[in-house]
Structure 1
Amino acid sequence: MTNTPTTLEVPVAEWFDPQSAMRDPYPQFERLRALGPVVNAPVVNRVFLTTHAAVAEAEHRPEIFSSYSETNLTMVRSLGGRPMLRKDDPSHAAERSAINPTLRPRAVTQVWSPRFEANVERWIGHLLEVGPADADLNRDFAAPLASQNLIDLLGFPADVAVEDMRRWSTSYIAGIGNLLDDPEIWRRADQSQAEVNAVLDELLPRLRTEPNESITSHLLQVGLSEEIVRANVQLTISGGMNEPQHMITNLVWALSMHPDQRATVLAGEVNWGDVFEETARWQSPIGMVPREVAIDTEIQGTFLPAGTNVGLLLASANRDTSIFSDADRFDVHRTARGHLAFGSGVHMCAGRWAAKDAIAEHALPRLYERIPGIDLAPDRSPSWDGWVFRGITELPITW
């Protein structure tokens, strides 16, 4: 009599190609889901969780699928310290609770919305100055707007340039996704760390005596060590610009590629908040988040030993047809609730309300009000990049 195995064997995706995924990860994500909810990808030393059910289960078992790791250290290396996203509770909760007051919906509406609105007007003005023949929505609007919003949220001095904030964020994101250990990516991350720390050297003493409503100030006010404050400021720079920036360009690109749906939105038949959520599901700015298995466990019928490096494929989960019908299709009429674009559980993105307010309440409605004919430039092509973090790097537009 043969013994029936109690767990499934982990299928292996030897074919997974991170370079190809940089151009478009979704065909490979579909193949991964077809193999199963748990798939080994040896080239990146990760066991991927590919389906909505698998990713959601792991996100709600943080004691097993740990954010803390002594081997999965690209974020720690990139930021020069261990931020809250690479910690478990109670340390994570203590640091997360420090910034929550800055980013709760009420604070966003009362404190930050007026600043977001002013920044939108400024950078739409810049876009109009560049003109329809040469405009790039990422370079001339999305990136500087997201950068200025982040400068304000962090309480950084007014003389910090939007281009410097963009460069810092880009270098950190590249480092966090540097699974192939490219030394040039580490060099740029180290340079950004040095420049940001120079800003903090002057800012932190001032905020200790003159606190304000910024993220940096709130981190200080609860008595966290300076090392922890710096690590979490660097973390905020990495995600606080990248995701809002890409959501703006992704959303305009998606509407331009679907002109009938764009007309529906501009006629007021669908609200911008729902368009934001569907865009986040369809073109997720965060493709994968890492976890490490703390103790031997089973997930979705598959055994994973302690120490396994796991990648939660948020972007793949958001195309899972068992949750979202016709999931590869962009549909502003869809109820995208339950998508995992900003994570789930205790590590759900703290800045999601600020990003949604800045984009769905201010940036996009006002952009289409002031430039109603905005569309993709027919003679210049957009460029996409990334699969761990993904977005449009060039979006030529005209009007």
Structure 2
Amino acid sequence: MTATVPVVTDISYQDLLDDPYPAFRRLRDTAPAVFVDAAKLTLVTRFDDITRIERDPATYSADNPASLVNKVMGPTFMRKDGAEHAIGRKAIEPSFKPTTIREHWTPRFAEICTNLVESLIAVGEADLFSALAAPMASLTLMEMIGFDEMPWQTLAYWSQSLIDGAGNYAGDAEIERKAMQAGADIDAAIDAVLDRHRANRNPSILSSMVHADPPMPIEGIRANIKVIIGGGLNEPRDAILTLVLGLLANPAQRDRVLAEPELWPAAFEEAVRWISPIGMYPRRVTRTVELSGVTLPEGLQIGLCVGAANRDDNRFPDPDSFNIFRPKQSHLAFGSGPHFCAGTWVSRLTVGRIVVPMLFERLRNLRLRDDAPPVVLGWVFRGPVSLPVRWDA
């Protein structure tokens, strides 16, 4: 006998935004899949169940016309399966090749980071969200996409508006309006540069799209650039801040990493496990199926809550702690299966090899401020929204 999906009505949406982990723990303990009334969605929160789902795209489809991502951004390859997903992913691959990352993006990203960090050295204190992480993520993504130069705040605003819209499970009308306006502004920015990329092949994502075989149609370009702006800006931004927070809050681990630079990759992976920047994404159940003893009916919309799975104590001992020395285990911060994040290697490079090591190297005695604690928010997308720090100028 299998059970029906239980319903939870006493978890508020604000609870999920402020600190979702107690709710995640409760949901994991309750059932493999639980309908959370405040989110209007059935959430899957256990590591093994999400891994199983991602290995079966025929049953748990990313092709989900009712998803908020499709509503806000259009039909992207991230919300397709099989050949349609593969074609869209292949169209952007030239921009993410290891040689392109190493020879083209690495020196450019290092230059951007150097300029940002050097502008801070004499200041002595700042909120790293607005002083470093947001501009770094915005400026590097602007370059990768191939947009004309614009204020970093513009791309950051578009990204936040899109991800707010994609996570708008509470149905807020103003959030939806801002997301749709951001989408229209992005379309205009694409139109302004597309002819240049058609005429001049280069490493940018827009160039890869228009020179793909076959070239990506304009509707696909617009939708996929939006999904790249949504996930491709907030993920490295939040990973930068999370890694800094984890190290500053754990001085013994910080000191070991600074003394042994070969630990930076492990520190990065632990940061995105501990607070997963992309915490949930949707799937659609294509046939009635049993998931670990619970029946999921055909057509059910489910949310794969990787932010919960990455703190599943059946996989990660003491999961709420930041611990770069924990036994090596794969996590789900970049997804799994065919939809494994295309920008994973760029994020690992940017955050774990360039930005955070440079920050600790050049800002002497970097430390948290006792009078202004960090603020971390979100559940669909989660990360520090304020990280005030001081250093010796």
The one-character-per-residue Cα deviations of 1:257-290 (angstroms, maximum 9, x if unpaired) are 1111111111116511110000111111111111
Q: Which residue of 2 aligns with 1:76?
A: 70
- DSSP 3-state at the match of 1:44: coil
Among candidates 336, 339, 351, match of residue 347 of structure 1 = 339
Between the aligned partners of 1:167 and 1:126, the Cα distance in structure 2 is 22
Q: Is the 8 A contact 1:62 1:88 kept in 2?
A: yes
Q: Is the 8 A contact 2:265 2:352 kept in 1?
A: yes
- DSSP 3-state at the match of 1:397: strand
Between the aligned partners of 1:90 and 1:139, the Cα distance in structure 2 is 40
The code of the aligned residue for 2:206 comes to T
Among candidates 242, 246, 264, match of residue 250 of structure 1 = 242
Between the aligned partners of 1:106 and 1:334, the Cα distance in structure 2 is 31
Among candidates 139, 157, 165, match of residue 130 of structure 2 = 139
Q: Shift in Å at residue 335 of structure 1?
A: 3.7
Q: Percent identity?
A: 38
Q: Which residue of 1 aligns with 2:184?
A: 194
Q: Is the 8 A contact 2:4 2:296 kept in 1?
A: no
1:236 matched to 2:199? The reply is no
The code of the aligned residue for 1:77 comes to K
Q: Which residue of 2 aligns with 1:16?
A: 11
Q: Which residue of 2 aligns with 1:283?
A: 275
Among candidates 165, 171, 175, match of residue 175 of structure 1 = 165
Q: Is the 8 A contact 1:264 1:270 kept in 2?
A: no
Q: Shift in Å at residue 374 of structure 1?
A: 1.0
Q: After the TM superposition, which residues 1-399 of structure 1 pair with which residues of structure 2 at under 5 Å, given as runs?
A: 5=1, 7-72=2-67, 74-79=68-73, 81-128=74-121, 131-133=123-125, 135-157=126-148, 159-222=149-212, 223-268=215-260, 271-399=263-391
- DSSP 3-state at the match of 1:85: helix
Between the aligned partners of 1:9 and 1:113, the Cα distance in structure 2 is 50
| TM-score (normalised: structure 2) | 0.96
The one-character-per-residue Cα deviations of 1:172-210 (angstroms, maximum 9, x if unpaired) are 110000111211112211221222222111211111111
Between the aligned partners of 2:4 and 2:287, the Cα distance in structure 1 is 18
Q: Shift in Å at residue 326 of structure 1?
A: 1.6
* Runs of at least 5 residues in structure 1 that lack an aligned partner in the other structure: none
The one-character-per-residue Cα deviations of 1:24-76 (angstroms, maximum 9, x if unpaired) are 1111101111112222223322221110001111111111111112322x112
Residues paired across the two proteins, number: 389
* Runs of at least 5 residues in structure 2 that lack an aligned partner in the other structure: none
Q: Aligned pair in 2 of structure 1 residues 336, 215: CA closer, same or farther (>3 Å)?
A: farther
The code of the aligned residue for 2:144 comes to L
The code of the aligned residue for 1:161 comes to P
Between the aligned partners of 1:138 and 1:347, the Cα distance in structure 2 is 28
The code of the aligned residue for 2:8 comes to A
Q: Is the 8 A contact 2:133 2:240 kept in 1?
A: yes
| TM-score (normalised: structure 1) | 0.94
- DSSP 3-state at the match of 1:322: coil
Q: CA RMSD in A?
A: 1.4
Between the aligned partners of 2:221 and 2:314, the Cα distance in structure 1 is 41
Between the aligned partners of 1:387 and 1:336, the Cα distance in structure 2 is 25
- DSSP 3-state at the match of 1:16: coil
The one-character-per-residue Cα deviations of 1:299-318 (angstroms, maximum 9, x if unpaired) are 21221111101010101111
Q: Shift in Å at residue 105 of structure 1?
A: 2.9
